[in-house]
Structure 1
């Protein structure tokens, strides 16, 4: 039986690379190809020295918000914008390019007025121009990253961003494929994205069910899904390496992904699920979610969201997050999907700050975002595994 496989070919560096402006144009992007193969042919393909990774196309799903509610009537910055200190930062994200790989975007929403939106639809085979949101999730996430003020409320962390890449990788049912994600990451990097935000995860149960419907017994289907899962992790880790290497010191692309919402601490404190892929892949920054505690203040007593998966790199506000609603207005969502765009927005602010100082490289950017994360606003007994390095913080100079 033939299946679709992703093939990541190695980047070939010229023996005498050009200098100056020509260098950026000459750099070769990771070559992600799709082949229809029999599994028996895969091992031979992996032995090709020009191939870095091979993985079957795997189902990907939206990390669905655990709660949706009407947005409270308020003015000024949301609690999440305050918690990451974007409201006191002199940076706005001006000159920074961000990419949101999600369900698309509502281009008519006033939150995105004045932003150049470059859109592609990766839910089909031809990467067509498009990317209109018919689900609402992508609109909400984009609003948190770079949305302008709506109805007197500040929702955007980096509301000075003027160019955004919108990759529609999930359909109206919240489903997609790792193939679409890989193509979208390559496209966003080629377009000069400094930050790529992804609030999605690989659908392991969905893959098992798919294999069972194809006639495999449950035990074999689970074993096959584990092999495919590991292959996809390797491919996304390799893609992250190449993406960061392509950017080098000119466009240091950061891949930021949600940790997942499968934990159930409200039922059992020990019911904690580890970070879900692709956030677990090497080179990705995984994001946990925190919420307001009993003090009700964004600067103290924050708690880990009961649904937030454990083992993340950093944390962001993810409970009762107010942002753009598809069709207009505002809505409040909760989930690590909501925490991720806060981290993406803060990263955009750091890109601007480091560029202004003439010190923007991949290493300085990662060090700034992770090194300024803090556990100070969290409850004293917070489990460090649940929040990683802590809550990200925007630059203050």
Structure 2
């Protein structure tokens, strides 16, 4: 017996998104076979742990030395008339500190899918959301799309950090039903954690536990792609995700690793992190390879839980700036009947520098829409 996420079609008449439901069920072998043959079940996957793509240490960058807004300047956000006005965004993370001045004037609709309350006791979600839509604080710029006035805050990671794949799927479907135009997350399926749990809690041999965990990883990736395909076929959101902080180029130039699922799923715009080294930008040493696009991700100043600002390193910060830029593109293309495919296509085609570092940068440095 194991716990599964089940994607079900419950009401065709309600539409391709509203007619979907995600359920969690404990299934044995016979139940599983019955589900696979049920016409209303679109896909299912064993529930597995997720991990936050946590910020990297600042190393040689002290918070008081970080330059607020350098990443915004690099991508051209704030330089033109586009602010993200009229675009609804969704942040799937650890929640936000709703009283932070960076979110003044923003209507924040919150849902707790992690079971630890709506507030952000962790801090990551507050910083992440600030990178996307934060207003200036004490005259210092914060977010790429400060004109956003509606945000959906799905808490899909508990205060302790580790979550479950069903929390992510629930948050994503909720955001789509609520008509978010941009959805951003910064987490990964945690295959090693599932394998360890199968050994310690279910007494499986290590080889079998590794096999079961890998099967669960693949099934969750397939479910993610099936869900995204349905959402995007119905005019769903641009989905932006952090590419991961698992590379260690400071240890060895060859210590690189790829983008983990679900950021690696088809239909997700995975984002690598760049850092500023005169006379330009280079790949951050922690940033994973194989991302679809890149954005500044070192020493990014954004909202801190409880108030104030903090500088962090990570592809989460880069993904936040890229998600804010996606909101700018939605606004800029609104008169052309914008949809997710159009917005993603413009972001990719207007990215800079990808040919020189395509494995690390993807299409290149994300840029705000021109005037």
Is contact 1:259–1:309 with CA below 8 Å preserved after alignment?
yes
Aligned to 1:120: 111
Q: 2:90 maps to which residue?
A: 99
SS at match of 2:317: helix
Query: Partner of 2:225 in structure 1?
Result: 237
Equivalent residue number for residue 72 of structure 2: 81
Other-structure match for 1:20: none
RMSD between aligned residues = 2.0
What is residue 330 of structure 1 aligned with on the other side? 309
1:369, 1:11 → 2: CA distance? 35
Are the aligned partners of 1:93 and 1:159 in contact in 2 as well (CA < 8 Å)? yes
The answer to whether the 8 Å contact 1:99/1:193 transfers is yes
Cα contact 2:17–2:177 (8 A) shared by 1? no
1:355-394 correspondence to structure 2 within 5 Å:
355=334, 357-375=335-353, 382-394=356-368
How big is the shift at 1:208? 1.0
Residue 367 of structure 1 deviates from its aligned partner by 1.1
3-state SS in 2 of match to 1:72: helix
CA change 1:70–1:149 in 2 (3 A) is farther
1:341 aligns with 2:320: yes
Residues 207 and 74 (structure 1), Cα distance of their counterparts in 2 relative to 1, 3 Å cut = closer
Matches within 5 A, 1:185-334: 185-213=172-200, 214-246=202-234, 248=235, 252-295=236-279, 301-334=280-313
Task: Using the TM superposition, give the Cα deviation of residue 41 of structure 1 relative to its aligned residue in structure 2, in angstroms.
Answer: 2.7
Q: By how many angstroms is 1:280 displaced?
A: 1.0
**Structure 1 runs not aligned, ≥5 long:** 15-23, 296-300
Q: Could you list the runs of 5+ residues in structure 2 that have no partner in the other structure? A: none
Aligned 8 A contact 2:16 2:230 in 1: no
**1:159, distance to aligned residue in structure 2 (A):** 0.1
* Cα separation, 2, equivalents of 1:177 and 1:326: 23
CA drift at 1:277: 0.9
Is 1:29–1:190's contact at 8 Å kept on the other side of the alignment? no
TM-score (structure 1 length as normaliser): 0.88
Partner in structure 2 of residue 21 of structure 1 = none
Residue 32 of structure 2: aligned partner:
42
1:203 deviation in Å? Answer: 1.1
Q: Among residues 72, 90, 93, which one is paired with 2:64 in the alignment?
A: 72
Match of 2:138 in 1: 151
SS of the equivalent of 1:88 reads coil
Pairwise CA distance, 1:27? 5.9
Is the Cα contact below 8 Å between 2:271 and 2:319 reproduced in 1?
Answer: yes
Aligned to 2:5: 6
Question: What displacement does 1:157 show?
Answer: 0.3
